[in-house]
Amino acid sequence: MKKKIIPVLFVLVLIILIGAVAVGLWLKEKYSYSNEVLDLQEYFQVKNGERAILLGNDRLEEKALVENDVCYLTLSQVRRDLNEIFYVDEEEGLLLYTDAETTMEARMGETGYYTDGVKTDTPYVIYMQKGGKSYLALDFVKLFTNFEYRVYDYWMQLTTSWDEKNMIVASGETKLRQKGGIKSPILADVSEGDELEILERMTDWCKVKTADSLIGYVENKMLGEEFRRTPVPVTDYVEPEYTNISLDKKVSLGWHSVGGIGGNASLDNMVAGTKGLNVIAPTWFSLIDSEGGMRSFGETSYVDRAHQLGLQVWGVLDDFNYELETGTPISCYSVLSSTSNRRKLEQTVIDEALRLGLDGINLDFEQLSEECGVHYAQFLRELSVLCRKNRLILSADNKVPYHYNEYQCLDVQSVVADYVIIMGYDEHWHKSGNPGSVASIDYVTGGLEKTLEKVPANKVINGLPLYTLVWKIDGATVTDEILSIANTPAFLQRINKKPDWDNAACQNYLEWTSGNATYKVWLEDAESIRMKLNVMIANKIGGAAVWRLGYGTPAIWELINAFTSS
């Protein structure tokens, strides 16, 4: 009997031993620390010469390049995260940087850069093309931007803010792991006394950042003293001062529609009946081709007479009148995106302004598109430098801002232009086929509110319409005629209708039928203009402009004068 029991006991003991070993191995596997070390090149997903980018604590999708020990970022990232003023003309192989006083220029693939024709040498290529992308040397970017960067084997750190940090000291040797858990792979060793930035506290683990910008997790039990640190900001670059020229009172501007040199003779008639007008803007200059050519109707005798009348003269440069007159297609994009074409236009308008003795230039670019945005911004910067050097006031006309016309670059205008004019009309425009008010009070109010989010109030001028549209709806056909405020009394007498006040639009409204047609008119008159001026007063803006001279009445000018004199 005993002989039979012994083998059974042996088997049971063996089973127990095997089970104990299995449990031990399982416990060891469960509670032991992983020794797997990550391949950092694979972890950062970089190839030869590439570096993953950390901006602050965020890892970006784009990669930096290191060539000949020089670190490069793409133009798009430089503009997005560091400095939007850098501009590349890929066709002409130029990198440009325009500040308040001049433009720095670097040529693709070359060392050094030029300022007003004088070369400054650099030991590295500033601008290069690779893989269809434009790359800029970070050391060059640092000449014009406050940031710091550090480059490691497979990653780099970009720092643009220097907020106070929560720090902690490692109390012993440990591991920085990819995730919070003992089975997570190892990113790096952590030595006793290492200072780590705390990114997130958890129950057993802490998300930290090492001195060489690796982000991972360390066990709380291996952390000691916690403290605060305020980094020292980088201040290598001092922002230039953008000086502006302004009138000593609110601007009262009237656009003078001049269709040819002969139109200059109407100056005195246009000014007659105005009150408080201090700037006249004749529509003299217009693009005539896609290479930066410009025509001019300007005459020095006009400028001399305007000055005798106490008026400044801001010559208007537009991108549409010549095309409308002749049918000649003009590509605004072709003018603005070419450095040669753009500079040709800039110098031409400056030379003409100086020849005529103008006080300023008024830009009226209404054919811009989204693709023009970055090029229009560069045009504004370059032209502002020339205006600043020649003591010319620079103003720019803009449609009421919305998300879809950000290409107007109000943020750039707020810095480089002396005045930013919002054309507070064309809510419903001539020949649009869409009946409605030219400028309801909500449209004007909303336009100013959006503008003032980006532009200082003292630089903002609101354009007032001294006209309305008489809409005719005949079945599916919608037409309109322009009606000036000056001609409104005769119009009302002729149709023998009395308008009613529309509280929503803050305008007098007319509607009647004649035959099969229905007519609708949202009138601009002294009452509607007064309501708009009240909004302008409340927002403390820098002035008023009117489209156009010859459309107003003495009563309207009394109101405008009261506003600009306040």
Check pLDDT > 90 for residue 22.
Answer: no
Q: Are 95 and 88 in contact (CB under 8 A)?
A: yes
What is residue 310's three-state secondary structure? coil
Query: Positive or negative, the Cα torsion across 556, 561, 564, 565?
Result: negative
- The CA distance from 199 to 59, in Å, is 14
Report pLDDT digits (tens) over 498-541. Answer: 999 999 999 999 999 999 999 999 999 999 999 999 999 999 99
Q: What letter does residue 266 receive in the DSSP assignment?
A: G
DSSP SS3 for 402: coil
Nearest to 292 by CA among 327, 354, 334: 334
The confidence score (pLDDT) of residue 121 equals 98
For residue 11, what pLDDT band results from cuts at 50, 70 and 90?
Answer: low
User: What is the per-residue pLDDT across 64-91, written as a single tens digit (0 to 9) for each?
Assistant: 999 999 999 999 999 999 999 999 999 9
**Can you tell me the distance from the alpha carbon of 527 to that of 557, in angstroms, rounded to the nearest whole number?**
13
User: What is the CATH number assigned to the segment(s) 165-229?
Assistant: 2.30.30.40
Distance CA 311, CA 393 (A): 14
Residue 23: the pLDDT is 53
What pLDDT is attached to residue 15?
Answer: 72
Residue 37's pLDDT is 98
pLDDT tens string 284-302: 999 999 999 999 999 999 9
Report the Cα–Cα distance between both ends of the chain, in Å, rounded: 122
Cα–Cα distance measured from residue 280 to residue 275, given in angstroms and rounded to the nearest whole number: 13
- The helices-and-strands tally (H runs, E runs) of the chain is 15, 34
Residue 170 carries which DSSP code?
E
For residues 527 and 523, what is the distance between their CA atoms, to the nearest angstrom? 9
Per-residue pLDDT at 361 exceeds 60: yes
- The amino acid sitting at 454 is K
So what's the pLDDT on residue 30? 60
Superfamily name with CATH number, domain 251-466+524-565: Glycosidases (3.20.20.80)
How far apart are alpha carbons 386 and 396 in whole angstroms? 15
Going by C-alpha positions, the residue among 256, 306, 309, 312 that lies closest to residue 285 is 256
User: What is the per-residue pLDDT for 299?
Assistant: 98
- Sequence-ordered strand ranges (E) for 178-276: 186-190, 195-201, 205-209, 215-219, 223-229, 251-256
Of 294, 400, 423, the C-alpha closest to 347 is: 294
Across the range 90-99, mean pLDDT stands at: 98
Bridge-partner residues for 215, per DSSP?
209
Cis ω for the linkage preceding 548 (within 30 of 0): yes
Helices within 131-189 (DSSP H only)? 138-141
**For residues 272 and 492, what is the distance between their CA atoms, to the nearest angstrom?**
24
The residues facing 66 across adjacent strands are 71
What is residue 366's predicted lDDT score, i.e. its pLDDT? 97
* Rg of the chain (C-alpha set): 34
**What is the CATH topology of the domain spanning 42-159?**
Copper Amine Oxidase; Chain A, domain 1 (3.30.457)
Average pLDDT of the chain, as a whole number: 96
At 218, list the tokens.
């360390």
- Asked whether the predicted pLDDT for residue 1 surpasses 60, the reply is no
**How large is the average pLDDT for residues 378-395?**
98
The answer to whether the Cα torsion of 200, 206, 207, 211 is positive or negative is: positive
Task: Let me know if 435 is exposed, middle or buried by CB neighbors in 10 A (0-12, 13-18, 19+).
Answer: buried
Contacts 24+ apart (CB under 8 A), 527-532: 527/501, 528/439, 529/464, 529/466, 529/485, 529/556, 529/559, 529/560, 530/559, 531/441, 531/506, 532/424, 532/439, 532/441, 532/444, 532/462, 532/464, 532/506
Q: Phi and psi (nearest 5°) for 460?
A: -90, 130
Number of Cβ atoms within 10 Å of the Cβ of 119: 12
Residue 223: φ, ψ to 5°: -115, 145
Q: In this structure, what token pair is assigned to residue 516?
A: 């099969």
Domain boundaries, the chain: 42-159, 165-229, 251-466+524-565
Cα–Cα distance, 384 to 366 (Å, whole number):
19
- Local structure of residue 222 (DSSP, 8 states): G
H or E element that contains 96: strand 94-98
Q: How far apart are CA 319 and CA 312, in angstroms?
A: 23
Helix (H, G, I), strand (E, B) or coil at 559: helix
